Copies of this chain bind each other. A is one copy, B any other.
Amino acid sequence: MIPVSVTLDDIARETGLSRATVARVLGGYGHSSKKARDKVLEVAKKLNYKPNYIAKSMVTGETKNIGLIVGDIQNPFFSTIARAISDVIVPEGYSLIVSSTDEKLEVEKTSIDKFFQKQVDGLILAPVSRSDSGHLNELVKSKIPVVLIDRVVDGLDLDMIVSEDVGGGQIATEYLINLGHRNIGFLSDNLDISTNYDRLSGYRKALRGNGIQGRECWIKLGGFRIDGAYKSGVALLSQNKDLTAVIASNNYMAAGLLLAAKDMGLSIPRDLSVISFDDIVWFELTRPPITAIAQNTVEMGSLAARRVLTALRDQRSVKEITRLPTKLIVRESCAKLQN
C-alpha cells in the first residue's frame, strides 16, 4: 500500500534482476527463465505494481485510446453508437474518449487536433460538414486509422460507414404518398450535415418520381437540440396549414415536432401524419407510436470499431464506404388521407 507508484526499477532492485528482465516478464515478451519469472511476478504482486501506460505510450507510440467525435453524446443515436464501439474495443484493451461538437465546425477542428495531440490510436468521427472538408484532408494522410460514421464527405479517401439515407428518405416519402398524402413537410437541420442533405434528396426524389410539385416552404431547416427543433416545428406547422404529413430528419426533430403538434392541439395521425428517422425505444411508447425509418445504429458503431481495430493490426489501406440498409418500421403515426 505505498502511495507513490511502484516502477519496474523498484521490482528490479527488490529481485536483484535487471530492469530489462523484469520488463520482459511483465511485458510478456522476449525470453525469461521460470525462476526469474516467478520471482518477478511474486514481487510485482507484493508491491502491487501497476504498469504506467503513459511511459509505455511514450515509447510504443500507442495509447490504447480511441477517439470518438460526434454532434452530441447525449443524443441517443450517438450514445448507442458509443456503447457499441465501447463493447468492441474495451475487450481489446482500448478505452473510448469522447467529444461533442454541437455540430460546430470549429469545435470539430479543435477536437480532432486535441485527439491527435493526445495520440489516440484511432479516430471515429461523425463529420459536421459534407462540403467543408479541408481539415479532413489531414486525416487522410494520418498514420492512424480514421473512420467516418453516419455522414459522408465527398472525395475523401477514408473509411465511411453510413446509412442508406437517400433511400430512407425516399421510402419514408413514398410511404406517405401511398397513403394519399401530397402536401408533405420536411423538418430538418443544417444541410451541411450529409444525413440531412441525403434524406432531403430522397424526399425530393420521391416527390418528383410521383409527379408531385413540392414547395420550398414545406421544408423547414434549423433546430439546435430539441428546443430548437420545437421552434422549427411550430414555425413549419403554423406557416403551412396545408400540410397533412411531416417527415422528421432524426429523433431530435421528431421530439420537437411532436411537442409542437401537441402544443398546437394537433392530433396525430388524425390531423397530421408523422414519420421520423432513427428508431429509439420511446417511439414505441409515444402517443401514438411513431412510424420510423430505422437505422442499424449498433452495427454502425461496432463496424466502425472493428474497422479501426483491423486497420491497427493489418495496416490495411483500402478504404471503403459501407451503406447500411434502413428499414421502415410501421407504427401508428401515419394515417390514410381522407378526401
Q: Which residues of A does B touch, CB under 8 Å? A: 1, 3, 50-55, 57-58, 63-65, 72-76, 79-80, 82-83, 86, 90, 95-100, 113-119, 138, 141, 143, 226, 255, 258-259, 262, 280-282, 284-289
With A73-B82, A74-B79, A96-B97 given, can you name 11 additional A-B contacts, CB distance below 8 Å? A54-B63, A54-B119, A58-B58, A75-B79, A76-B76, A79-B82, A280-B282, A282-B282, A282-B286, A286-B287, A287-B289
**Pair B50/A113 contact, Cβ less than 8 Å:** yes
Q: Which B residues are CB-close (under 8 A) to A72?
A: 83
Is B99's CB under 8 angstroms from A50's CB?
A: no
A178 to B55, CA, bound (A): 62
A63 CB contacts on chain B under 8 angstroms: 54, 118
Which of B80, B118, B255, B281 is in CB contact (< 8 Å) with A95?
B118
- In whole angstroms, what is the CA distance A113 to B48 when docked? 12
Closest B residue to A142 by beta carbon equals B3
Instruction: State the Cβ distance, A79 to closest chain B Cβ, in Å.
Output: 4
Given contacts A3-B141, A74-B83, A98-B86, contact A287 B284 (CB under 8 A): no
**A289 to B51 CA separation, bound complex (whole angstroms):** 51
A117 / chain B contacts, CB cutoff of 8 Å = 50-53
Chain B residue numbers with a CB within 8 Å of A75 are 79
User: Which 5 residue pairs are nearest across A and B when measured between Cβ atoms?
Assistant: A287-B287, A282-B282, A79-B79, A74-B83, A97-B97
24 CB < 8 A contacts A-B: A1-B141, A3-B143, A50-B117, A51-B117, A53-B119, A65-B118, A73-B82, A74-B79, A74-B83, A75-B79, A79-B82, A86-B98, A86-B99, A86-B100, A95-B97, A96-B99, A97-B98, A98-B98, A255-B281, A255-B282, A258-B285, A286-B286, A287-B287, A287-B288
Give A74 to B96 CA distance when docked, in angstroms: 13
Question: Inside 8 A of A97's CB, which chain B residues have their CB?
Answer: 65, 95-98
**Nearest B residue (CB) for A107:** B90
Q: Are B100 and A83 in contact (CB under 8 A)?
A: yes
Residues of B close to A58: CB separation below 8 A: 54-55, 58
Q: How far is the CB of A75 from chain B (nearest CB, A)?
A: 8
Interchain nearest-CB distance for A52 vs B (Å): 7
Smallest CB gap from A55: residue in B: B58
One of B65, B73, B95, B226 near A86 (C-beta < 8 A): B73
- CB neighbours (8 Å) of A52 from chain B are 117, 119
* Max chain B C-beta neighbours (<10 A), residue from A90, A118, A258: A118
